Structure 1
């Protein structure tokens, strides 16, 4: 009797045979008979890191990369083939070949290798293992000394410095570990920025833009870098300096083994330390240089950088991005090029209308490589520049006459009245300036158009006034919220020193006749040097708006203002105070109820000021509610920065639902009454009655209702 094989048995056999070719998700090792292809991955033993193919952004290119397993955004910390992508990941293979890890593309051509020269190792005994610290190691399993590595990814970092890795210089091999930025968010190819050990003085590390060093950590004093005090106060990881006969290195170690962090050189040229927060993604603990426009030549040639604009870079008038695609990807390094060529050399034979002219550019920083000329007037300075075909700009002020004959780099747009600003005159082709004849025609057209528009507007004016009366409160709320956020961004990020206001509340936000908000009353403000991110100070502020860290006595950051701003947002939404006295003498804490309501997905219109009669944009209202809830998180690391708050309110950043802050959740869950006196005088005492069985609630409520207004 013939026995036919069962389909189930055949299927099991198929999977068994297939395992020898492509191993399943979850393994940590690549052996001789295994390879990565398609969606295959390997995972470190403790399920910390994943290695596999990834595709950045909207591109069609695939790379072998590494990321944290917990990170749903798949933030890449290491890339193998950053300069040689593959198109079809299913027909490409990452496997052992000889003594090396090799990536073969869809045409079976090796495009990346570990390049190990070993005569003793064979393909059958060589293995690659992904470790829990993010180090991909290659070793010969046939050797008695398994700790002797053939190759490790820690020696070849991309843009990220992970805890357990080193940055330094090998005196024997003359090789350095260097962090090199991505070219753009969608291109892991080497960018223009590097973070590496300084060769002339090995006691500090510098950020470079190609061959130009523009920022340094300061020297190592045995505990921290002098210009990065955060390395000493860091509660996530620590840095140690090692110098011996064979190497000079800075080693980074994790202090908290449960915390997920990384230090990276961003494609923007800033060095950032990031901490992973399960409910908020990656949060920046600090970044250097602190301001984006301090990054050398960030906007490239003929690009102007401004901290007050978004995006930061703009081409000068008469110029356009050299690569619009790169600019769309926030890669401004190639700068700008002229829209129209100059007519230099032919100026004598040209009419005045066709000669090159100069565009006035006030309040800008002085570009580098200037040449000084001795002249007595603005006209003479202009004449000298115009006579030189190589001259592209000039300036004349109390510093004398300066001309520039090379590409304009490091231009920064400064605020009017900034003493460091100069008025620059940029040379442009005559075609970049409007013609007088065209101006006359345009003027007539504008007058006619204006008359027609004016007639139409008069007809709608009355209806517009009626609508504005009804919507004025809602409009003022929306504009006031965003304007106040921008004001705090200026205090925290744009001033020479970081200013923590310490007393953000509705009374300190003034509105003019057009509802433009002004942050006022800096009597309790604290000035923080840019060299520090925290400051230890006595408790100050107003009850109901104080962040939880005030009661713990720890040093505060600008995130204390973020918390206060979140409380103000809730009051803007509801049109009433967050604390409301009921008829029975109990106090209703609106923020706790609102946060719980938002997270549960309740109807946000029920939170809106009843005087608006539900007249509000639902999506905008939801966004403001979610932002407010993020701002009042107990942990300061979970709160967004004010610059991020602005992006949230503008809808630039997609929002996730936040958790209910623990302190507020305990208040909501508690059935006990919360009673306290509500006099506003800062000289009167306060009293509270809180649930006796929940010390955290007691601490929080005491903190919020205490009358604190003391410097």
Structure 2
């Protein structure tokens, strides 16, 4: 088949002078161009077509990098399968570093085409089975860079698409794997996607099996800082997780020790996720030798499917069936294990089949108990689905859910860990004291006559049968006494629980259907029992805060950890499952500048969220009412930490989250100036009828962006506006709208140049100011020191104040599209991006705010209390500005997108 590729070297081009031999070659090229179609090019132009047959003499290669280190090829890794793939190969080592169609192989006669629309692979029926995105700009050439990156370029030689942005199971030196990016292992002997993945997160990189973590990179590396991770990169010295715009190493793995010889500059390195589930770094030297420089996990037993389903991995990788199971000679051997497929030892039992949508018959369910030394790989990386429950509760929960295949129960903490959908290999229990009493139970189905040794789903907590069969009457008497003591304690506990419930208005327990939601919704944080929260808070005794979403109480858990328990009061008729779905999203957000949700409690119609406790309280208490003056450095760190938290919500989460209520009350402080944002994502918990009340909630006045009051869409720029208002308060040390008098003759008049200033205030020589407007006036005049908290005296420099003032004014501009993103706010604060210049015309609306504030201040304290809490449209005006009543907003506008 013909080809119109641009050939890097061709005898057809050697025609500078007459030579009979060259003339013959030239005529041969003109008459038979396809004879040279099998040569490897350094660049390919549009309308290029190729098959494996065309380039079989060059091992399937049709495109090479400048120095021929890499080739783009059509290859067949397993000849007997006749499955072909478009790949990029490192020539000297033969390592495949990228594959286009790993899940959709083609045949040797299938076509590869490159056109202005990009790359496309066709099957034998001429149907496209893989292509680059079709919404790209028109491309003109395809090139393979010396780094191994396959790129498509437009007419201006700008990269339109790059293979480095779509890694498969390998990255090479210099290639970045961004946060959220992943490597997916191939199958054994094939290029198709396997069951293991390696994912870069915001605080670590994780190895996963079917979405469950089984190893974290920090367990084999050094943590250098607590910045949020932005990407992973590898060079000849090590593997690095980078943060702070690529300037800070968060986690590092050294590939050289101090006594290593000088590295071969021509050596080639890859980081690969192997089909076995281990990730490693290998070096290929120019002489042809190879060396593995790093591999994790070191213990193969930590890899979830090392011994197959219900295999037990011990003694450095030796496989056997888990206790209560044996290899069945009637079944085919599992190729991933050294023994047969594991089945229950009790022949009357069988493992559950796949879920078919019907509810399981719990009367046919029994549980096989695993040995005391057996644990499961995911238990140390996941939260229990239930806390402070007994074994029967955990058992009933699993029995009522078809996707539950087993569970581990810790008697000491009453924790229940569920195994869902698939079962991997079992491991030997570690020496950690937190899991020493954790026992495993595997769900089985009765298919014959039961035999002894299996735990029934409804089994009694006390072994009565064992007591009856004891040969000694003395021992039997002791057992009877023990039973009576146990029974008495159980009755006392029930009476105590009933007393607590009646005092606190506890409703009925959740139904079996409701309990199933807690397992069927993935990603839920720890579920606390209602009694546990009652005890932790001493009956909700100590209130430490309140806000639009509920009241917050301080509590102390049984392990001594302090927590903040928020009782949600704004949910109304919202469904339980909707609540749990939102909590699953919020609970999986972990970032250094966001308050971590430790767990929740859904008890009847009551909902509680359990947060980590921040011992310094909220910013408003510390900044506005604190006993000591907050120094400028701490204020700056709070401003930066808050900006980072909002930037993460807007761009770092899988689902964008708009906070909708950024204010000092929702910025919490801990020791060493740690700052964290709370109440993020809770706007999605509002029911439709309560959405309309959201903006009238206590404490929101002064932070509402103008678009809240119009039909404009609510976006992440709404949070930017609120952040700007908070930043001004951080600068001043007081609320923006709190009264403050300044002399009209002091040159600090907030309404300088405003002909509509209040006559009475001018005559008196004193007037209240609206600080954002005052900041705008001082910015116009370059008098930034007038804006700093006067309590700081001379402990802050002018340029430091100017920096925050300019950023704040950029954030509070009326047009949302003129406000910077929170990512750019962080960059400006960190000094890696020039400061923006606020547009005065987009800030003139502050003069309206200022006039309104002045009018309200003149009405006095008593009259102010009788006014609505939100900005009101001035009497006698007929404007359609941002101050229309909030009562006309839709619930969708208030709740906002996630």
Q: TM-score range by the shorter chain?
A: 0.3 to 0.5
Comparing both chains, which one has the higher relative contact order based on Cα–Cα distances under 8 Å and sequence gaps of 6 or more?
1
When normalised by structure 2's length, the TM-score is 0.35
When normalised by structure 1's length, the TM-score is 0.43
Rg comparison, structure with higher value: 2
